[in-house]
């Protein structure tokens, strides 16, 4: 026990850095009354056990929490695999058509697009990427390959802008930014006569805080649709809803959406990492072991 702190207060401190799934907490107390139960669960406890207790019951409760965490981790991996499988058929069809057309016009360009497409598929289906954590630089590599392909397809109709701090890198759940970029191209630039631009911004706000924004100057979204974007499962909202849920689980923040009809859309997020969160280098070291 930490000095001058109750078990409930210690639990609340733990919850400032770890979610109930990341670090399950079992509170043991001498007596359980209604108010104590409320305080325990309000503080973020997963379970509560009253003294005196039998050792077998204690171990059963612990085993239950371990199984819960294991199940949650498995669900996260399955979710990542599902997201990776959601490469849209129309995108594959368009890329293959582009490559076929280029083989008749520019063999070297066809080779370049094929290489970028291969890189995109390899990184998107990377089995390491089914873990709960990736890095910004890894996601940026996927984005660069995707945009290189789309620039070949759209030509001068697609302008790509970057405003990224030179040495920025941090960990985050995989496939958090690439779907936003894809949405900006698919629902923004491609819907605008004459094309348009998309912009990716990545800034380090403080030691453990990072700001990400993806914006486009496409047709925008009506106020009515904006209300439903993070709660329903239609078209553009499918990816946004999932990203928002994982963002809330990872660091407690939510996506911020700003859009004006005929003026464009921006989707941004603020990622706050706990002091105990590992670095991208530590992530790579773990993957090699």
Residue range 9-41, pLDDT digits in tens: 888 888 777 777 778 888 888 766 667 777 888
Least Cα distance to 90 among 17, 181, 153 occurs for 153
Give residue 268's pLDDT. Answer: 96
Contact 158, 150 (CB under 8 A): yes
In 51-188, which ranges are E strands?
Answer: 134-135, 158-164, 171-172
Token pair for 222: 């009506």
Per-residue confidence band for 149, with pLDDT thresholds at 50, 70 and 90: very high
Contact 27, 47 (CB under 8 A): yes
The answer, yes or no, to whether residue 158 has pLDDT greater than 70, is: yes
**Mean pLDDT value of segment 216-236:** 74
Give residue 77's pLDDT. Answer: 63
Token pair for 172: 């985050």
Mean pLDDT of the residues in the chain = 81
Cα–Cα distance for residue pair 22/278, rounded to 1 Å? 14
- Residue 222 Ramachandran class (φ > 0 left, ψ -120 to 50 alpha, else beta): beta
Give residue 181's pLDDT. Answer: 95
Give residue 35's pLDDT. Answer: 72
Contact 282, 273 (CB under 8 A): no
Cα–Cα distance for residue pair 190/161, rounded to 1 Å? 16
Cα–Cα distance for residue pair 167/140, rounded to 1 Å? 13
More confident residue, 74 or 209: 209
Per-residue confidence band for 286, with pLDDT thresholds at 50, 70 and 90: very low
The string of pLDDT tens digits covering residues 125-136 is: 764 545 567 899
Taking the whole predicted model, whether its pTM rises above 0.75 is answered as no
What is the residue whose two structure tokens read 């078209």? 235
**Ordered structural domains, the chain, with CATH:** 7-78 (3.40.50.2300), 86-156+168-288 (3.30.565.10)
Give residue 287's pLDDT. Answer: 47
């Amino acid at each position: 026990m930490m000095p001058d702190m109750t078990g409930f207060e210690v639990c609340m401190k733990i919850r400032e850095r770890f979610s109930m799934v990341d670090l399950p907490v079992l509170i043991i107390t001498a007596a359980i009354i209604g108010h104590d139960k409320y305080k325990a669960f309000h503080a973020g406890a997963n379970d509560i056990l009253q003294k005196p207790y039998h050792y077998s019951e204690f171990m059963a409760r612990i085993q239950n929490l371990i199984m819960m965490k294991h199940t949650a981790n498995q669900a996260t991996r399955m979710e990542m695999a599902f997201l990776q499988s959601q490469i849209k058929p129309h995108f594959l069809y368009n890329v293959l058509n582009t490559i076929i057309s280029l083989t008749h016009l520019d063999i070297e360009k066809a080779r370049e697009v094929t290489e970028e497409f291969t890189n995109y598929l390899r990184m998107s289906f990377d089995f390491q990427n089914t873990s709960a954590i990736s890095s910004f630089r890894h996601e940026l590599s996927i984005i660069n390959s995707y945009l290189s392909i789309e620039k070949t397809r759209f030509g001068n109709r697609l302008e790509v802008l970057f405003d990224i701090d030179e040495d920025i890198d941090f960990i985050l759940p995989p496939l958090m930014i690439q779907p936003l970029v894809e949405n900006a191209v698919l629902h923004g630039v491609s819907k605008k006569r004459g094309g348009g631009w998309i912009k990716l911004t990545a800034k380090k706000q403080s030691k453990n805080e990072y700001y990400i924004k993806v914006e486009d100057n496409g047709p925008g979204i009506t106020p009515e649709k904006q209300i439903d974007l993070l709660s329903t499962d239609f078209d553009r909202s499918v990816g946004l809803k999932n990203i928002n849920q994982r963002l809330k689980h990872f660091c407690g923040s939510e996506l911020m959406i700003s859009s004006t009809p005929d003026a464009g859309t921006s989707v941004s997020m603020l990622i706050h990492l706990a002091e105990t969160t590992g670095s991208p280098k530590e992530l790579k070291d773990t993957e090699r072991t």
